[in-house]
Amino acid sequence: MQKIFAFIMAVMFIVSMVVALLLTNLQVVAFNDAFYRMEFKKYNISRNVKISYDELVAISKDIQEYLLGKRGDLNIVVNIEGKDKLLFDRRELRHMEDVRDLFKKGFLVRNISTGLLIISIIYFWIKKRDFLYVLIKWLAILSAVITGIVFILFYVDFNRYFTYFHLIFFNNNLWLLDPSKEMLVNLFPQGFFSDAAFYIIAGYLLELIIVLFIARRFYKRI
C-alpha cells in the first residue's frame, strides 16, 4: 500500500511541477510589456496596421488588464490614418472573452498544481528525501527529450499545432479571423505566438536545470 501511495505521490510531483512551471512561464510571457514591445518591432506591426507604436503599447496593456480581469471590456478606440474607430469588432470581442476565460482556468489549474507540488515535496522530504533528486533528474531528462521533439515539430509546422491548440481549447470557430477585416490577427500574427511558445518552453527548461542543480546540492548533503 505504501508503494502504491508513493507512486501516486511521484506522479503527482512530476505532473504538478510540469504544469505549474509551464503555466507560470505562460503568465510571465503573456503579461510582459517588454515582450510585446519586442514583437511589435520585430514584425513591423505599427507599419502594417497604421497605428503608432506608442498606441500599440497602450493597446497591449489594455489587453493584459482585460485578461487579468482588471478591465471590463475591450471597446478600445484607436486613431488610424487620422480617423477614430473601434479596434475590435463583435467577433473579435467574443473570441477575447473566450481567451480571458481560458486564462482564468489556467490560473486556477496553476494554483492547484502548485499546491499539489508543495504537498508532494513535503511528503518526499519526510519519507524519501533522496528520491526527490531522482525524480527531478528523470523529469529533467524526459523534459529535455520531449522539448527537443516539440521544438522540431513547431519548427516544421507550427501552424498545424497552433490549430490543434485552438480546436482543443475552444468550442467555437471565433478564433478563425480574417486578416483583411479583423485587427486582432494583424496585431498578433502567428509569429508572435511561436515566439511566445519558444520563451515559455525555454524558460521551463532553464527552471528545471536550476531546480536540478539545487536538488543535487541538497542530495550531496544527505
Q: What is the pLDDT of residues 106-163, one digit of tens each?
A: 999 999 999 999 999 999 888 887 888 888 888 888 888 888 888 888 888 999 999 9
Measure the CA–CA gap between 81 and 64, rounded to whole angstroms. 25
215, pLDDT greater than 80: no
- Supply the pLDDT for residue 217: 76
pLDDT of residue 82: 78
Q: pLDDT-based confidence at 21, cuts 50/70/90?
A: very high
Residue 22's nearest CA partner among 176, 160, 154, 200 is 200
pLDDT for res 220: 64
Q: What is the pLDDT of residue 150?
A: 87
Tens of pLDDT along 47-96? Answer: 999 999 999 999 999 999 999 999 999 999 998 877 888 999 999 999 99
216 band by pLDDT with thresholds 50, 70 and 90: confident
Burial code (b: 16+ CB inside 10 Å, e: under 16) for 74-83 equals bebebeeeee
- Contact (CB, 8 A) for 127 and 210: no
pLDDT per residue as tens digits for the range 100-114: 999 999 999 999 999
The answer to whether residues 95 and 184 touch, using CB atoms and an 8 Å cutoff, is: yes
Averaged pLDDT, 12-30 = 94
150 or 217: which leads in pLDDT: 150
Cell of 135: 525524480
CA-nearest of 182, 149, 215 to 17 is 215
In whole angstroms, give the CA distance from residue 104 to residue 159. Answer: 25
CB of 201 within 8 A of CB of 23? no
- Nearest 10 degrees: CA dihedral of 107, 110, 115, 117? -170
